[in-house]
Amino acid sequence: MSRGQLPNRIQRGDVVWVADPFDFEGQDGDEADDHPYVVISTEQHPFHGDEYLAMLVTTTERSGAIAIPERRWEFGTLPRESFVNPWTVVTLKDDELADYQGVLKSEVVDEAVERLPEYVGLTV
């Protein structure tokens, strides 16, 4: 599935594209790259609609990353094998969202969020 127009309302599980917040334009002589992120926050987020918590989606397979093959999507998919990194959490501003990729199944998002406490020193 190719990238498409953002929906009017971003929700938990949506996979969106933004300019990579860690790839500063001009640092390597190129423009900043876009990367997909999965939204993990809900409407309970105090700034929902303006900001979203999200986890990085990458094509780099790492120990602890969550594979997201086509069967783990409600809608859409990515053209290459991809993974959610539950340790890479960022705040995305609504005006930074560039494109829309689709929606991951809720159990995938739940699995990613359930792994977060171990990376921030919480025991559940």
The pLDDT of residue 77 is: 95
Distance, CA of 109 to CA of 13 (rounded, Å): 6
Count the residues in the chain: 124
Across all residues in the chain, what is the average pLDDT? 88
The pLDDT of residue 37 is: 97
Domains defined along the chain, listed by start: 14-119 (2.30.30.110)
pLDDT tens profile 41-89: 999 999 999 999 999 999 999 999 999 999 999 999 999 999 999 999 9
pLDDT tens profile 101-113: 999 999 999 999 9
Specify the pTM. Answer: 0.87
Per-residue pLDDT for 19 more than 90?
no
- SS3 per residue for 55-102: EEEECCCCCCCEECCHHHEEEECCCCCCEEEEEEEEEEEHHHEEEEEE
The pLDDT of 114-118, averaged and rounded, is 92
The pLDDT of residue 26 is: 47
The pLDDT of residue 123 is: 80
Contacts of 71 by beta carbon, 8 Å cutoff, 6+ apart:
none
